[in-house]
Structure 1
Amino acid sequence: PANNGGSPTVDDLFLKASENGDLGIRVVIWPNGRNAKVVESYGKKRQGTQLDKEGKVFLGPVKLFADGSPQGYTAWFSKPYFKQLPGKPADFRGFPVFNSREELFALVQKLHDDGWQITTHTNGDQAIQDMIDAYSAALKKNPRKDHRHVLNHCQFCRPDQVEAIAEMGFVPSYFVTHTWFWGDIHRDMVAGPERAAHISPLKAALDRKITFALHNDTPVTPISPLMDVFSAVNRLTSSGKVLGPDQRIDVMNALRGVTINGAYMQRLEDKIGSLEKGKLADMVILDKDPTKVEPATLKDILVEETIVGGKTVYKRA
């Protein structure tokens, strides 16, 4: 898991837990990119750096926010919400976190120039566009081959934005379980049928050979990689309707989204994410084969055992 908004206090918590043997999982710290003191506290350390002796805590990209949430009517869209909440003007389309594009571009340029990988919370298509533009401007002034700048959530991603992401080598991490938890609301209230059908456009990304990860966002949704796989394959809403059937993908590519592609996004693909000689022995044992069950039952697969570094940290009773 990634910890969003790392700070000295948060780091100390995980580092002490690792030192005491209480940390059973691997954690990647995403420092708050708007807090200069926090960013500077890492000195010359950058993404991918191991922060503890046991290899449980790693430094990840700096984290920014470009907008809020669609279900909260705070996501930043290029066009108005489909149905406005009472008291909102007809042209309301949310709002950005940054006061101006100039402020955003300047911070992204500084972090980029300082060698940081950047990940940004983006939900609405205008927030996604702002970050595509900011990342691209930084790369134009200071090209970096392996930047891996991340668009986190990257939900209402338009077809033209998929093309731009592929061209620039950005890494989307899609919050695909929104189709289940909020899909009906997005279709009927937030964005309307057309925009909602293209939320988390996994098939479009796959067709353009984009390396994308899948994630959940606790406490907004439960931590369940298999729920990501279920949503990526089925795109079912909680009422049982399909949201954007053309953006469904196969089970194996969905599994890659929660394993090796997530490791790639965190610059840990040489250590975790796949079962290969020389990598850390992190794995789960499931009670059913995800490639052989009915797609609608993927979310019901149980974890029998979780192994981290060759040690069992969880076993189902």
Structure 2
Amino acid sequence: MKHIFYNAIILLCLFGCKDEAKPEVSVEYDSQLFYNGDIITMESDQPEYEEALVEQKGKIVFVGSKAEAELLFKNSELIDLKGKTLLPGFIDPHSHFGMVSNTMGQVNLNPEPVGDVSNIDDMLNRLKAYKEDNKIADGEWIFGWGYDDGQLDEKRHPTKRDIDKVLPDNPVYLQHTSGHMGVANTLALERLDVTAESKNPEGGSIERFPNSKEPTGLVQETAMYPFVGNMFQLLEPKQAEFFDSTQSYYASNGFTTAHDGMTDRNTIAFFQAQADAGKLDIDLIALAGYTELESNLADSTLHFKTYKNGFKVQGTKIVADGSPQGKTAFFTKPFLTEVPGCESDCKGLPSLTQDYLNNLFEMAYKKDNQLFIHCNGDATIDMVIEAHEKACETLNQPLDKNRRTIIIHSQFVRPDQLDTFVMYNLEPSFFTNHAYFWGDEHVKNLGEGRANFLSPMVSADHLGLKPTNHSDATVTPIDPLFTIWTAVNRVSRSGAVIGEAERATPYLAVKAITCNAAYEFFEQDIKGTLTKGKLADLVILDKNPLKVEPMEIKNIQVLETLKEGVVIYQKQK
């Protein structure tokens, strides 16, 4: 009877249900197997390719032949790359995540290719339209970002009088593209108590009209700090609103680890709160500000170098000089062109004294706190080397201890200073985007010799250093393929080559934002290469930057970004 009953059930299923759709079978895979593309491991000094990579539970568990991968991981979802390129997720060596977020509440005043501002009238029209379009009341602050005096038709900074013509009833502060200066209008100067009687602060400058004490509105270096601090404070309530958009922007460019290059305590707390609430899709690394170094080191709740829910404070950022295009970087030899506010022997200026810098190094080295020092000019790098030497001597520490002190930008480092980097175990994080954006200006301002040795990645690599390369966003755009392009081609806006001998290979340029960047943050054991046991932080590109024509690299598209095996960005088809 049981046999007949079962046969009846089978017949009912075969004939009674024949017109019904078959239910979809849901297959649960326990891993992903990537194949049929250029899988570049980034593990060695020369490019190495593998047939397949397997991700499981957020980790890379296999890299090798496809046949072996299929044999070992039979329950894998097969991901056909269809000839595309798979690389480790990009690691951002230096940008300003918070500032990128803040620009979403400001007026875009950038020239091409970031914006379309050509002259001061364009700027004024943008500001006026912004007030009207956003119904901003009189008395409320208005901020703009990205203007570049060197790219304006007038070849000068706007003044407070220019801005007053269109916005006399709003305090206005416009941040220069370098991030090292800005222009305030009359009402903004009054709000922050900058008058004809104000003295230049240590490491800063308040520009005056000719033959007058009256401020023009241009504030440089430490003189701009009150204006930037005020801007951050006023935009702080919008941080949460822009946070998701900002990390999505980084992910869309292939970054699985983002960076905030100088972060105050309030913003550190905000980032940690976002991370603890599960809102981080990517890893975020912050650097605490040097003005809070002593209190930070004494704070037992601030655990440097340790991730908590995808966020960590890696070390401390020191700003030691200004910008070369803004002529506030500190050099041993003078600029060759006129410098605003300086009459002779104009070499720029350091942002702090040697004694202060020495003290910062000693405090940090005593507590094994990693330092990241903004240095553009060679005179500033000399100051850093001296501070390093003095701290090591005072603390009786080896000069070449593996601290990974990072010299951010190192734009105009001298060859002898690179040799010292090797001896002292210091590492440079370069900024080759300058070759495109301001290479022509550097040739005029500094001469071909200095300009052509800008961000010397090839020389650094030949010496055995592990150079990284960054965007410094918002100074230049978050676009790693463009950064690779500038490292490889070093072509300026005019088409001139800025330092033929320092043109990097595409492979070295990719190393600078993968394995070398992981090393910079002491993360070489978990990120930066496609190696078994590391995080499955991955990026898929439509073309291979090692195989296309060098001038085409900037046109390569990010198709997909995966954080620990999970897709966090996919380009719309």
Shorter-normalised TM-score: what interval? over 0.9
- Aligned partners of 2:350 and 2:520: how far apart in 1? 25
Tell me if structure 2 keeps the 8 A contact 1:156–1:200: yes
Answer yes or no: is the 8 Å Cα contact 2:430–2:468 preserved in 1: yes
Task: Give the structure 2 partner of residue 242 of structure 1.
Answer: 497
Question: What is the match of residue 178 of structure 1?
Answer: 434
**Whole-angstrom distance in 2 between the partners of 1:175 and 1:237:** 14
Q: What is the match of residue 34 of structure 1?
A: 291
Aligned to 2:531: 276
In 2: Cα distance, 1:47 partner to 1:265 partner = 14
Does 84-93 or 208-217 show the bigger shift?
A: 84-93
Cα distance in 1, alignment partners of residues 509 and 523 from structure 2: 19
- Partner residue, 2:45: none
Q: Is the 8 A contact 2:339 2:346 kept in 1?
A: no
Who is 1:254 aligned against?
A: 509
- Which structure has the higher relative contact order (CA within 8 Å, separation 6+)? 2
User: Per-residue deviation at 1:283?
Assistant: 1.2
Determine the C-alpha separation between the residues in 2 that align with 1:168 and 1:262.
Answer: 19
* 1:137-176 paired onto structure 2 within 5 Å: 137-141=390-394, 142-144=396-398, 145-176=401-432
Equivalent-residue separation in structure 2 for 1:140 and 1:27 (angstroms): 34
For residue 298 of structure 1, report the CA deviation from its aligned partner.
Answer: 0.9
116-125 or 270-279, larger mean C-alpha shift: 270-279
Q: Deviation at 1:176?
A: 1.3
Q: Which runs of no fewer than 5 residues in structure 2 stay unpaired?
A: 1-257
Deviation at 1:87, TM superposition (A): 4.8
* 8 A contact 1:306–1:315 mirrored in 2: yes
Candidates 416, 434, 453, aligned match of 1:198 = 453
For 2:265 and 2:341, the matched residues in 1 are separated by: 41
**1:140 Cα deviation after fit:** 3.2
**1:111 is aligned to 2:367:** no
Query: What SS does the corresponding residue of 2:517 show, helix, strand or coil?
Result: helix
CA–CA distance in structure 2, aligned partners of residues 45 and 147 of structure 1:
19
Provide the residue aligned with 1:65 in structure 2: 319
How much does 1:41 deviate? 5.9
Q: How many Å apart are 1:13 and its aligned residue?
A: 2.2
Select which of 271, 278, 296 maps to 1:21: 278
Structure 1 stretch displaced more, 255-264 or 270-279: 270-279
Instruction: State the shift of 1:47 in Å.
Output: 4.2
The 3-state SS of whatever aligns with 2:568 is strand
Task: Measure, in 2, the Cα distance between the counterparts of 1:5 and 1:74.
Answer: 19
Residue type of the partner of 1:129?
D
C-alpha deviation, 1:29, in angstroms: 1.2
Deviation at 1:197, TM superposition (A): 0.5
In the aligned structure 2, how far is the partner of 1:313 from the partner of 1:151?
31
> Aligned residue for 1:135?
388
SS of corresponding position for 2:290: coil
Match of 1:11 among 239, 247, 268: 268
Residue 8 of structure 1 contacts residue 38 of structure 1 at CA under 8 Å; is this kept in 2? no
Change in 2 beyond 3 A, CA 1:41/1:302? farther
C-alpha distance in 1 between matches for 2:426 and 2:465: 8
Q: Provide the TM-score with structure 2 as the length reference.
A: 0.53
Partner deviation per Cα, 1:82-119 (whole Å, 9 max, x = no partner): 21235521311110111x21221122111111211111
Which of 95, 102, 115 is the aligned partner of 2:355? 102
- AA aligned to 1:162 is L
Distance 1:230 1:41 in 2: 43
| Deviation (angstroms), 1:151 | 0.2
Following superposition, the deviation at residue 134 of structure 1 comes to: 1.0
- Bigger Cα displacement from structure 2, 192-201 vs 100-109: 100-109
Does residue 233 in structure 1 map to residue 488 in structure 2? yes
Listed one character per residue, the Cα deviations across residues 226-280 of structure 1 (whole Å, up to 9, x for unaligned) are 2221111111112111000001121111111011111111111111111111111
Runs of 5+ unmatched residues, structure 1: none
Conserved? CA contact 2:411–2:454, under 8 Å:
yes
The DSSP-based 3-state class of the residue aligned with 2:527 is: coil
1:121 equivalent in structure 2: 374
SS for the counterpart of 1:121 is: strand
For residue 288 of structure 2, what is the amino acid of its counterpart? P
Indicate which of 90, 93, 97 corresponds to 2:344.
90
Q: C-alpha distance in 1, partners of 2:373/2:408?
A: 5
Q: Output the CA distance in 1 between the equivalents of 2:467 and 2:341.
A: 38
- 2:477 alignment partner AA: P
Select the residue among 250, 254, 264 that pairs with 2:519: 264
- Determine the C-alpha separation between the residues in 2 that align with 1:255 and 1:34: 34
Shifted more, 81-90 versus 153-162: the winner is 81-90
How many residue pairs get aligned? The number is 312
User: Measured at CA, do residues 162 and 44 of structure 1 come closer, stay the same or move farther in structure 2, by a change above 3 Å?
Assistant: farther
1:128-156 superposed Cα distances (whole Å, 9 cap, x missing partner) = 11112211222233325211111001100
SS at 1:58 equivalent: strand
Q: What is aligned with 2:51?
A: none
Once the two structures are superposed, the pairs formed by residues 212-231 of structure 1 within 5 Å of their partners are 212-231=467-486
Q: Paired residue for 1:288? A: 543
**Offset at residue 44 of structure 1 (A):** 7.6
Q: Is the 8 A contact 2:322 2:328 kept in 1?
A: yes
Code of the aligned partner of 1:283? L
Q: Aligned to 1:35, what secondary structure does the other structure show?
A: helix
Partner of 2:118: none
- Per mean C-alpha deviation after superposition, the further-off stretch among 79-88 and 222-231 is 79-88
Partners in 1 of 2:347 and 2:571 — Cα distance? Answer: 46
* Pair 261,46 (structure 1): closer, same or farther in 2 beyond 3 Å: farther
Alpha-carbon deviations, 1:2-43, whole Å to 9, x = none? 212223321222223223332222111101122146523642
> 1:252 is matched by which residue type in structure 2?
Y
C-alpha distance in 2, partners of 1:9/1:104?
24
